[in-house]
Amino acid sequence: MSDASFLEVRDVRKHYGAIKAVDGVSFAVGPGEIIGVIGPNGSGKTTLFNAILGQIRPTSGSVRFRGDDVTGMSPLELSRRGVGRTFQTLQVFGQLPVRDNLIVAAQEFQGTLPGRLFAAPDAGLGERADEMIELFRLQHVARLPAGRLSYGQQKLIDIAMAFMAKPRLVLLDEPCAGVNPSLVDQLRELLVTLNKTQGGSFVVIEHNMDFIMRLCPHVICMVEGKVLAEGKPADVQANPAVLEAYLGN
């Protein structure tokens, strides 16, 4: 693993009794890199994300971000270090308008806690929120409570929120799940645009092979908690072990 690694996951394990949900996974993500994580259901992808992001503490192994050991660090602390994420299920603030969902996603990085009490209601993020609303084509619903929108629209808000604070690293857990196929291409283009304009590295879990093969120059395939194969998308896709894991004998 190079010194330039943004994220360095080394031999991470998460065991629940005899069940080895994640079993010695190592990989590294460089600055600006987009990495895809694929694998059948139950292969440990989301558990790996949760172990990296402090939602659960790994049984063993280490996670380093920008050279610092962040193993088991709380999501709050990781967020302050510039790590964003989306969840497998929708996680928007349903009662808040779309624009406020975006503002709240970055407001904690503006000034101090007491200072924010006396800050402008939009915490100085109105312009940034409007930019993201335009980028994600959400202008017509910007003032509506997020909970009233369609699943696809909420998914876009969810992803836009993860990028509001311009994080250095974003982990996206199944961004295409439940999304209309016509929106999948839009989503991929958005992620490419954000990668180019904002920089930062992305790790993407996804079941949509076409999406991941076109988005990620490097793919990791997990099966039963372990890394089965990794490399260029075409190579991983052609790997007989990967095919067997997905399709069986």
Name the phi and psi angles at 9, rounded to 5.
-105, 120
Cα 121 from Cα 64, distance rounded (Å): 36
By CB under 8 A, tell whether 57 contacts another protein. Answer: no
By CB under 8 A, tell whether 200 contacts another protein. Answer: no
Cβ-based nearer residue to another protein, 53 or 63: 53
- Contact range with another protein by CB under 8 A, out of 6-14, 85-93, 129-137, 211-219: 85-93
CA distances from 55 to 14, 25, 244 (A): 12, 17, 31
- Selected from 107, 153, 154, 201, the binder of another protein by CB under 8 A is 107
By CB under 8 A, tell whether 108 contacts another protein. Answer: yes
Name the phi and psi angles at 186, rounded to 5.
-60, -40
Cα 75 from Cα 90, distance rounded (Å): 18
Binding mask 164-183 for another protein (x = CB under 8 A): -x------------------
By CB under 8 A, tell whether 113 contacts another protein. Answer: yes
By CB under 8 A, tell whether 110 contacts another protein. Answer: yes
Cα 60 from Cα 119, distance rounded (Å): 43
Cα 223 from Cα 165, distance rounded (Å): 33
Binding residues for another protein (CB under 8 A): 53, 55, 74-76, 79-80, 84-85, 87, 91-96, 100, 103-110, 113, 116-119, 121, 123, 161, 165
